[in-house]
């Protein structure tokens, strides 16, 4: 339960850049392409975090790995207050290393602990992540209204440190059972499945981080007043994600994983079309909520597909989560580049829309059945 509760803080940190980025961009007068570096920095850091997680889990167990990852996140959050944006960019990288280590460790632990209902269990633990994602923009909005953004970042850092300290109450035996050594297995005959699954991890995190990261900036640019409520736009996106992950276990009882994933992605894609075409903030915010709702079950279903590897799933998870981090590093940045080049963020959002179409196709042709890779 402690590990699941900590995922609230991971969700807060993981989605911090979206609502905070317009504030940082204004502070340092950054273009969209420069602001996009913050997404790239934290997700490139997350790739290193995945490798660090695999190494530390094998050597020291999950308790040490997760605790160390939260300390890294605390340091990274604090570094966002550095006076120069290039130095703060280093903080974003360290922050990325932290959540890059925490996310696979937590997901794999839950997957191992729930052998029969992986997708449902993973949806529930990622629901805690969604709570943190929803709270992040709300907290930043409140902090901005009272000119206490620096205080918010300091409090968040302290909470991350406190959570790392609380892990002393977790049994090492339970965590060790999820990280026992794995024998290498031959998988050359399953190259198609491996390629498709890797692309699913890459595209899902790329799409989620792009939509959640840029929606605040989009809402700000179409706002007719300076109320600052545009900061809350990501809360509705992550709120949709949160609600969807709460409902996903119920949907998975009645429908197959493939059906749930494809239906959600179609809803997300259609809502992205509204994001791109609507001139009204209310429609943009509503569409953002539906995008989050549509994406909600896709990531837990994708992680559950790792079970096809059976005894090698933990070894295979590292590269898959690294690809996920690469997606998060690439697509938000590319969206910013297209936005700067064309002078329109809406045009930039064609990038995640195209990614969603490709991801739908991958789920259509992918293996969601009972076939396992021995």
Q: Cα–Cα distance between 117 and 237 in angstroms, integer? A: 26
pLDDT at 350 over 50: yes
Side-chain-facing half-sphere of 148: CA atoms under 13 Å: 11
What's the pLDDT at 184?
Answer: 45
Percentage, residues of the chain above pLDDT 90: 33
pLDDT tens figures, 108-134? 777 776 666 776 777 777 788 888 888
- Which residue do the tokens 């998975």 mark? 252
Contact 337, 33 (CB under 8 A): yes
Kindly state the tokens that stand for 157.
């850092």
- In the chain, which ranges are continuous DSSP H helix? 2-14, 17-28, 32-60, 62-79, 85-113, 118-145, 149-166, 172-176, 191-222, 233-254, 257-277, 281-295, 298-304, 313-342, 345-348, 350-365
Q: What is the pLDDT of residues 249-292, one digit of tens each?
A: 889 889 998 999 999 999 999 999 998 998 887 888 899 999 99
Task: Spell out the domain ranges in the chain.
Answer: 2-365
CATH class of 2-365: mainly alpha
Residue 32, both tokens: 């969209």
Alpha carbons 127 and 13: distance in angstroms, whole number? 15
Report, as an integer, the average pLDDT of 346-356: 95
DSSP 366: S
- Give the model confidence (pLDDT) of 17-67 as tens digits: 878 888 888 888 888 888 888 888 888 898 899 889 888 887 887 788 888
What's the pTM?
0.73
> What are the φ and ψ backbone dihedral angles of 342, each rounded to 5 degrees?
-95, -15
CB atoms within 10 A of CB 250: 11
Q: Quote the tokens at residue 57.
A: 């889990």
């Amino acid at each position: 339960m402690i590990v699941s509760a900590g995922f609230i803080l991971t969700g807060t940190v993981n989605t911090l850049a979206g609502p905070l980025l317009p504030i940082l961009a204004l502070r340092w007068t950054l273009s969209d392409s420069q602001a996009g570096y913050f997404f790239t920095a934290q997700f490139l850091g997350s790739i290193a975090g995945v490798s660090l997680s695999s190494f530390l889990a094998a050597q020291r167990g999950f308790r040490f790995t997760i605790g160390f990852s939260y300390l890294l996140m605390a340091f990274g959050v604090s570094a966002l207050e550095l006076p120069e944006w290039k130095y703060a960019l280093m903080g974003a990288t360290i922050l990325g290393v932290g959540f890059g280590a925490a996310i696979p460790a937590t997901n794999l632990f839950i997957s191992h602990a729930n052998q029969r209902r992986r997708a449902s269990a993973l949806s529930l633990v990622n629901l805690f992540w969604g709570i943190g994602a929803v709270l992040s923009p709300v907290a930043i909005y409140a902090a901005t209204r009272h000119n206490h953004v620096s205080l918010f970042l300091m409090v968040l850092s302290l909470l991350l440190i406190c959570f790392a300290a609380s892990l002393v109450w977790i049994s090492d035996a339970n965590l060790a059972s999820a990280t026992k050594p794995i024998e290498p297995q031959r998988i050359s005959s399953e190259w198609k499945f491996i390629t498709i699954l890797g692309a699913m991890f890459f595209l899902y995190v790329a799409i989620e981080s792009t939509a959640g990261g840029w929606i605040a900036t989009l809402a700000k640019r179409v706002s007719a007043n300076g109320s600052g409520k545009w900061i809350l736009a990501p809360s509705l996106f992550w709120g949709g994600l949160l609600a969807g992950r709460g409902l996903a276990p119920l949907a998975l009882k009645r429908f197959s994983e493939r059906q749930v994933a494809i239906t959600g992605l179609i809803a997300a894609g259609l809502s992205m079309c509204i994001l791109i075409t609507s001139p009204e903030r209310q429609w943009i915010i509503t569409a953002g909520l539906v995008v989050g709702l549509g994406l909600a079950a896709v990531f837990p279903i994708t992680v559950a597909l790792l079970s096809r590897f059976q005894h090698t799933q933990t070894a295979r998870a590292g590269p898959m989560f690294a690809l996920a981090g690469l997606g998060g590093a690439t697509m938000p940045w590319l969206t910013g580049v297209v936005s700067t080049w064309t002078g329109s963020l809406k045009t930039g959002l064609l990038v995640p829309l195209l990614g969603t179409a490709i991801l739908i196709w991958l789920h259509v042709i992918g293996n969601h059945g009972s076939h396992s890779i021995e």
